[in-house]
Amino acid sequence: MNSNDIVFDTHAISDFVGEHEVKALEAQVLAAHEKLHRYEGPGREYLGWLGWPLHCGREEVEQIIRVARQVREKAEVFVVIGIGGSYLGARSALDLLGHSLYNQLPKEKRGGPQIYFAGCNLSATYLTHLWELIGEKELVINVISKSGTTLEPALAFRFFRTMLEQRYGKIGARERIIATTGETGALRQLARQEGYETFTVPGDIGGRYSVLTAVGLLPVAVAGIDINAIMAGARHGCKLYDEDRPPNNPAYRYAALRQLLYRKGKIIELLATYEPSFLYFTEWWKQLFGESEGKDQKGIYPAGVNFTTDLHSLGQFIQDGYRNLFVTTLWLDKPPVDRDIPLLTEDMDGLNFLAHKTMHYVNGKACAGTIMAHSAGGVPNLKIIIPEMTPRYYGQLVYFFEKACAISGYLLGVNPFDQPGVEAYKNNMFALLRE
């Protein structure tokens, strides 16, 4: 690893976990590594994501870029229909790597269509408001569902397909629908029958591990983001987080520390970020860890806070409330933009002492001060430092968390690649709907 890499900083944890404890867990981490890499652990049939950045074909990425280019030429609005792992990755990358107000920018500045999401709720209000906004604009949709049977995207797709067929006719609609789905299932069948442009979600890659496939890459490429660079970063991640064993592997160290904290009663992990563009990355991370670990009445509850905003709401609880949580701070060393604070001739707000310092400098002090305060208040803090938010670091970060999550799940003794609990509400809902 070099200094330009993502850094896992554990200096603030020493009051809570000793190095001897990390060392004592090393054999278990190694066993988890062996189990994963020898395809011997639970969920081994869903390990397609492991090393995927190295194995995924160039032609696949090129096809995504080619289709994205056509969408950029044709569409004024691009709607991504999907839920959970079928939208959170793309949304996180768009927010982190694009302009904060991408959809509000004039077309010349965007360079591509406006991008909206649907099928991630059951709200007719949201759908209707989205339609009102789309109006007569040229529309292309990407329906993403690995199973092809998930209710929320299936219903949204019904509405959008009907709308497209009414507007463009059956043939015109076909040219404006891209389906990203599994090798079999209802959506695959329909796509075949209608001749939609189609991308395949590999059968051995679960939804929450699919951001580096067409599921995440196509919407991101439509926004003009360099997906080759994302994959290069992820490949670098494979090198760092697959090849190194503990104690040198930062992903394994993160997995080990969060499990040690969990064993000490820290059952909630807050992912804390200091740029609002991380909001959906946090959502992606919550799904990754929540769905992977929360089973068999075990698991760390993954939650997110967006600082400094949430320091004015949840800050009190974190500092002073029930002591069952720890924080992992995701710190961006160099934000895309920074600004000098202006000097005022009349120092009415008393903040002239900050003049000519930058906003990011202040944000950095807020972060350091918060970690100090929370540590003193009995909240362990881990920190992940990202040098800057480029497509390359995005890809590396995704792989870091995917790898850490798999190892952490095995340390916890669960199958990190299934999600049996999700079925419970669905069974009830469908039973009630059929009554």
The residue annotated as part of the active site, out of 23, 107, 170, 426, is 426
Single out the segment in contact with ligand PA5 by CB under 6 A; choices: 103-111, 146-154, 327-335, 404-412. Answer: 146-154
- C-beta of 264: minimal distance to ligand PA5 in Å? 29
Spell out where 175-317 has E strands.
Answer: 177-181, 197-200, 268-273, 301-306
Minimum distance from residue 6 beta carbon to ligand PA5 (Å): 24
Residues numbered 76-95 forming contacts with ligand PA5, rule: CB under 6 A: 83-86
**CA–CA–CA angle 53, 54, 55 (5° rounding):** 95
| Choices 72-80, 141-149, 261-269, 380-388; region in contact with ligand PA5 by CB under 6 A | 141-149
Of the candidate spans 92-100, 205-213, 253-261, 310-318, the one that interacts with ligand PA5 by CB under 6 A turns out to be 205-213
Handedness of CA 347, 348, 351, 355 (dihedral sign): negative
Closer residue to ligand PA5 in complex, CB, 242/283: 283
Asked about 312 being catalytic, the answer comes back as yes
Q: Look at the block and give the residue holding tokens 């095995």.
A: 410
Task: Given the residues 312, 346, 423, 435, select the one marked as catalytic.
Answer: 312
Task: State yes or no: is 426 an active-site residue.
Answer: yes
* C-alpha span between 223 and 397 (Å, rounded): 20
Looking at the Cβ atoms of 84 and 98, the one nearer to ligand PA5 is: 84
Q: State the number of binding residues for ligand PA5 (CB under 6 A).
A: 14
256-315 residues near ligand PA5, rule: CB under 6 A: 291
What is the DSSP track for 342-409? PP-SS-TTS-GGGTTSBHHHHHHHHHHHHHHHHHHTT--EEEEEEEE--HHHHHHHHHHHHHHHHHHH
Listed in sequence order, the residues at least 6 apart from 6 whose beta carbon sits closer than 8 Å to its beta carbon are 250, 384, 385, 386, 387, 393, 396, 397, 400
Asked if residue 48 lies in contact with residue 205, where contact means CB atoms within 8 angstroms, the answer is yes
Q: How far is the CB of 187 from ligand PA5 (least distance, A)?
A: 9
Least distance from C-beta 161 to ligand PA5, angstroms?
16
Question: Is residue 110 within the footprint of ligand PA5 (CB under 6 A)?
Answer: no
Tokens of 245: 């064993």
For the chain, the straight-line distance linking the first and the last C-alpha, in angstroms and rounded, comes to 58
- Of 140-148, 237-245, 274-282, 299-307, the window that binds ligand PA5 (rule: CB under 6 A) is 140-148
Q: What SS3 class is residue 70?
A: helix
Question: Is 374 among the catalytic positions?
Answer: no
| Rounded (10°) CA dihedral 9, 14, 15, 21 | 120
| Closer residue to ligand PA5 (CB): 146 or 161 | 146
Q: Does 219 bind ligand PA5 (CB under 6 A)?
A: no
Please identify which of the residues 197, 269, 291, 402 carries the catalytic annotation: 291
Label the pairing between strands 7-9 and 381-388.
antiparallel
Residue 101 beta carbon to ligand PA5: minimum distance, rounded to whole angstroms: 28
Nearest distance in Å: CB 209, ligand PA5:
7
Q: Which stretch binds ligand PA5 (CB under 6 A): 51-59, 106-114, 121-129, 142-150?
A: 142-150
Binding site for ligand PA5 (CB under 6 A): 83-86, 145-147, 150, 153, 206-208, 291, 419
User: Residues with catalytic annotation?
Assistant: 291, 312, 426
